[in-house]
Structure 1
Amino acid sequence: MADTQITPEVTWAQRSSSSDATRNYLFVGVNVPDVPKNAADLSVTPSSISFTGRTIKGVKYHVSLDLYAEIDPENSKVNHTARGVELVLRKKELKAEYWPRLLKETKKVHFLKTDFDKWVDEDEQDPTLDDDYAANFGGFGENEGLGGIDFSKLGGGPTDAKPAAANEPDESDDNQDDEMPELEGDAAKEEEKPEN
């Protein structure tokens, strides 16, 4: 088993800009769980990425990617985690158009997948959201990749109930059943129409 070499799953997404190099990059994830940083060899050149690593159980991963166009390794970032290697690779050429694919070759490879969690269509890019993601790998750290969700604002718990004021009388359940909430939208308009 130690000599078996596995090609890991690689995910990718991208952003583009014709005027701002910091908003012109690729997200590439090499999914290699349990490969310690000291057992990994990552090479990032202007035209390729290569990764080789061995898990603590002896499984060897290897992948080599010849990129569609050139990147700027000096201004790219790497984050090695227990689940794999995350890269934010700055594209060398400033263009508003996306790369048509990640790899130079046009043939489809089984291990390469689009990262739909990070993918945004060209015409729907939001530079303010992308700045944080590229700089912090999606907010990993403080919120561990949850994207800054404030769970206290989500419903479903007793924290949503308004505290009763000290001087207000407590209403019984019988009185609350008689009141109907107001309708919203089209249903409310239908209720307002006088009957003929």
Structure 2
Amino acid sequence: MPTHPEILWAQRSSDVDEAKNIIYLTVNLPDIKKDSMKYTLNPDKLTFQAVSGKDQEHAKDYAFEIEFFGEIDPEKSIPKLSTRAFDIKIQKKDKNAEYWPRLTKTKNHFVKTNFDKWVDEDEQDGNPVEDEFDPSDMGMGGGGPPGMGGGGPFGMGGGPAGMDFEKMMADMQRNQMAAGGSGSAADEEEESDDEGPPPLEDAESSK
């Protein structure tokens, strides 16, 4: 029997600007096998099924169906698949200044608030809508989205793709030695505070 994956969500609302009247929905499921994923986005509900796992031994079936609290516009909604999750920026059909009280018509304990994207209703005007969803990223008909191979725009070593970081540091040290310096600056490695996206916070079921 398929397992129900965790669903994270956040939203924005507007009674005048369609671009700010949206739902951010994340199926929090890493290593989705692209050729196994099937989803249907209807005006009133979303159905999803996929196999997830790094290899055949750990592969597992996932599936769910949720009915939205309000009506959405599937044609204007944008999906995005990555190695970490399946995301959809969902367009609410009716412009409304008020937030939906919850994502689904009935409470669902698999649905949780995405605090990384959530903004309180009275503070949303000062927070721009994230423009990270590009329809060309999804590649559902063939060719995976950027990052599916692992490195994305940065190589696995942590610097821009193609850059030999060790060689660069060695060259800097040689230049300092040639200039009469001790080279100690090259020996000090500065740790970066940015070690990737923070882990998703545990959240209570949305109300």
Report how many residues are paired.
136
Q: What is the CA-CA distance between 1:35 and the residue it aligns to?
A: 1.4
Matched, 1:27 2:27: no
Q: Is the 8 A contact 2:119 2:127 kept in 1?
A: no
Amino acid at match of 1:6: T
Who is 2:35 aligned against? 38
Scaled by the length of structure 1, the TM-score of the pair is 0.63
Q: What is the CA-CA distance between 1:69 and the residue it aligns to?
A: 0.6
Q: Is the 8 A contact 1:23 1:131 kept in 2?
A: no
Tell me the secondary structure at the aligned position of residue 97 of structure 1.
coil
Who is 1:121 aligned against? 120
- Correspondence list, 1:36-185, <5 A: 36-56=33-53, 57-105=58-106, 108-126=107-125, 129-133=128-132
C-alpha distance in structure 1 between counterparts of 2:10 and 2:42, whole Å: 19
Residue deviations 1:27-79 (CA, integer Å, cap 9, x gap): 00001222122110011011101110112443100011100010011111000
Percent identity between matched residues is 39
Who is 2:8 aligned against? 11
Q: What is the CA-CA distance between 1:109 and the residue it aligns to?
A: 2.2
Tell me the secondary structure at the aligned position of residue 131 of structure 2.
helix
Amino acid at match of 1:59: K
Tell me the secondary structure at the aligned position of residue 103 of structure 2.
coil
List alignment gaps of at least 5 residues for structure 2.
138-146, 155-207
Amino acid at match of 2:121: E
Report runs of 4+ in structure 1 exceeding 2 Å deviation. Answer: 55-58, 126-129, 131-137, 140-143
C-alpha distance in structure 2 between counterparts of 1:8 and 1:50, whole Å: 12
Q: What is the CA-CA distance between 1:126 and the residue it aligns to?
A: 3.4
C-alpha distance in structure 2 between counterparts of 1:23 and 1:122, whole Å: 12
List alignment gaps of at least 5 residues for structure 1.
144-196
Larger Rg: 1
C-alpha distance in structure 1 between counterparts of 2:24 and 2:123, whole Å: 17
Q: What is the CA-CA distance between 1:133 and the residue it aligns to?
A: 4.6
Scaled by the length of structure 2, the TM-score of the pair is 0.60
C-alpha distance in structure 1 between counterparts of 2:87 and 2:7, whole Å: 10
Q: What is the CA-CA distance between 1:124 and the residue it aligns to?
A: 0.5
* Cα distance, 1:123–1:142 mapped onto 2, change above 3 Å: farther
Q: What is the CA-CA distance between 1:80 and the residue it aligns to?
A: 0.9
* Cα distance, 1:135–1:24 mapped onto 2, change above 3 Å: farther
C-alpha distance in structure 2 between counterparts of 1:132 and 1:82, whole Å: 19
C-alpha distance in structure 2 between counterparts of 1:30 and 1:9, whole Å: 6
Q: What is the CA-CA distance between 1:89 and the residue it aligns to?
A: 0.2
RMSD: 2.3
Q: Is the 8 A contact 2:48 2:65 kept in 1?
A: yes
Residue deviations 1:5-26 (CA, integer Å, cap 9, x gap): 1100000000000001111000
Q: What is the CA-CA distance between 1:110 and the residue it aligns to?
A: 2.0
Q: Is the 8 A contact 1:23 1:127 kept in 2?
A: no
